Amino acid sequence: STVKSYAAVDLGASSGRVMVGRVGPDSLELTEAHRFPNRPVRVPEGLRWDVLGLYAGVLDGLKGAGAVDSVGIDSWAVDYGLLDADGALLGNPVHYRDSRTDGIAEKVWAAVPAEELYAATGLQYAPFNTLYQLTAARDSGQIMQAERLLMIPDLLTYWLTGEQGTELTNASTTQLIDPRTRDWAHGLAERLGIDLSLFAPLRRPGDAAGVLRPEVLEETGLAGPVPVTAVGSHDTASAVAAVPANGERFAYICTGTWSLAGLELDAPVLTEESRAANFTNELGLDGTVRYLRNIMGLWLLQECLRAWGQPDLGALLLDAGRVPALRSVVDAGDAAFLAPGRMPERIAEACRASGQPVPATPAETTRCILDSLALAHRRAVTDAQRLAEQSVDVVHIVGGGTRNALLCQLTADACGLPVVSGPTEAAALGNVLVQARAHGLVGDLAGMRRLLTRTQLLTRYEPRGGTQRWQAAQARLARG
């Protein structure tokens, strides 16, 4: 038939899912086959991913998905597994929130100044970029034994197919790729003593990545051959591919554990001003660049909910909606909020330190978080337009945060621009569409987005009132 089915494995920091996308010439439907928690595990050596648990979740999901024409995998970025000469995994992949990278950046900058690093890679400073993780791991037993490094989606693809590759969009988050050539930054790696032969050859979104191994077919009950297709394996690359823009000039905010806010560009912005503003140039589909800033995102709220014993979110958001706006805000772009634990206290401390009222109740803290996120969204959207010299008429919000109507409305208010929110499962949809395209079903990126605009439920939020109050709150933060 002309309708084909694709399984999209999408792994987020707190949950994984296997979605099935059915794509026809003028239809696109997504259903959930399986959802499973992704719980970071703290062991004596530090914070680790339970990657075998994730793989088991993927197998369960494929079983639940039933017959599909192809499978694609995307996940969060920067993290990896190491394999020995036999292809066996050497230990549990380290979580990007692990503290092993504390103080490492300074060591790297002593060898290659931050300005040069930015000019060569276009990547914002984040302590967890793979480059810093590899520097932190330099003398570890595991790295000495390692013959191969596979990024998380590439590792799972390897387990499914037996074939190794390094998908480009995710490779760009290692900080070892030159965004102009879209190839490895050999000179830089050499200066830092990083052995690029650890990485498997690059593959691009749409490339074939093997077929499910016989054992996988048996375990999932699927009939072979089932091809695995490389997608934009960085979840944010897949999510931005699924921004339902229809020819307009847009900014996007991918919301979930993180908020990733910025623009899609044709070429990287590598200026010193851009570095100082901590904007990143990650690689996207079809030669595009994701010019964006990482904002702590709903992680701030997730960590508070955990501290409060998981109260009912709906009720809490209603209460937060009644708290007066912009009483206190924190810098939601601050890496000080990266590590887990004590989040309500850390937010209170930040408010106190900047001389603002200290939120006292969960509703007040929640309001402070949502106001702060909207403010950080405003700042990123404004800064990106200025630094890239490209202005926008609309802000698209995709991902988990689309469910948070208050956050969407506050973002519209703060930006002074209409917000179009949806789809929620953007990463899975981008994953599905890249597979469909590889199999000849949809056209270019613009064609993919037209299909999304026609088929997905979207909500529009108009900005209410002026943006002066947000400007004032930003100024308060800058002074604090």
Catalytic residues: 235
- Please identify, among the stretches 83-91, 221-229, 255-263, 270-278, the one whose residues bind ligand LFR according to the rule CB under 6 A: 255-263
Restricting to residues 376-415, which ones interact with ligand LFR according to CB under 6 A? Answer: none
Restricting to residues 95-114, which ones interact with ligand LFR according to CB under 6 A? Answer: 96
> Smallest Cα–Cα separation from 368: which of 349, 346, 351?
351
Residue 328 makes contact with ligand LFR by CB under 6 A: no
- Please identify, among the stretches 22-30, 208-216, 230-238, 449-457, the one whose residues bind ligand LFR according to the rule CB under 6 A: 230-238
Residue 238 CB, shortest distance to ligand LFR, in Å, is 10
Residue selected from 135, 172, 236, 411 as contacting ligand LFR according to rule CB under 6 A: 236
Residue 360 CB, shortest distance to ligand LFR, in Å, is 31
The answer to whether 180 and 123 are in contact (CB under 8 A) is no
Taken in order 181, 187, 192, 194, is the CA torsion positive or negative? positive
Residue 195 CB, shortest distance to ligand LFR, in Å, is 22
Residue 172 makes contact with ligand LFR by CB under 6 A: no
> Smallest Cα–Cα separation from 425: which of 7, 24, 75, 10?
10
Residue 332 CB, shortest distance to ligand LFR, in Å, is 14
Residue 285 CB, shortest distance to ligand LFR, in Å, is 15
Q: How many residues does the chain have?
A: 480
Let me know if 436 is exposed, middle or buried by CB neighbors in 10 A (0-12, 13-18, 19+).
buried
Restricting to residues 261-300, which ones interact with ligand LFR according to CB under 6 A? Answer: 294
- Of the two residues 297 and 359, which places its CB atom closer to ligand LFR in the complex? 297
Rounded CA separation 258/313 (Å): 18
Restricting to residues 6-35, which ones interact with ligand LFR according to CB under 6 A? Answer: 12-13
DSSP string, 330-342: --TT-GGG-S-S-
Residue 461 makes contact with ligand LFR by CB under 6 A: no
Query: Where do we find the tokens 């106190």?
Result: 352
Count CB-CB contacts under 10 A for residue 376. Answer: 28
Spatial neighbors of 373 by CB under 8 A, at least 6 apart, are 259, 295, 296, 297, 298, 300, 332, 407, 410, 411
Restricting to residues 32-91, which ones interact with ligand LFR according to CB under 6 A? Answer: 76-78
Count CB-CB contacts under 10 A for residue 395. Answer: 26
- Please identify, among the stretches 57-65, 202-210, 234-242, 323-331, the one whose residues bind ligand LFR according to the rule CB under 6 A: 234-242
Rounded CA separation 194/430 (Å): 32
Residue selected from 199, 252, 258, 461 as contacting ligand LFR according to rule CB under 6 A: 258
Residue 430 CB, shortest distance to ligand LFR, in Å, is 13
- Of the two residues 5 and 236, which places its CB atom closer to ligand LFR in the complex? 236
> Smallest Cα–Cα separation from 172: which of 213, 121, 208?
121
| Residues forming the site for ligand LFR (CB under 6 A) | 12-13, 76-78, 96, 234-236, 257-258, 260, 294
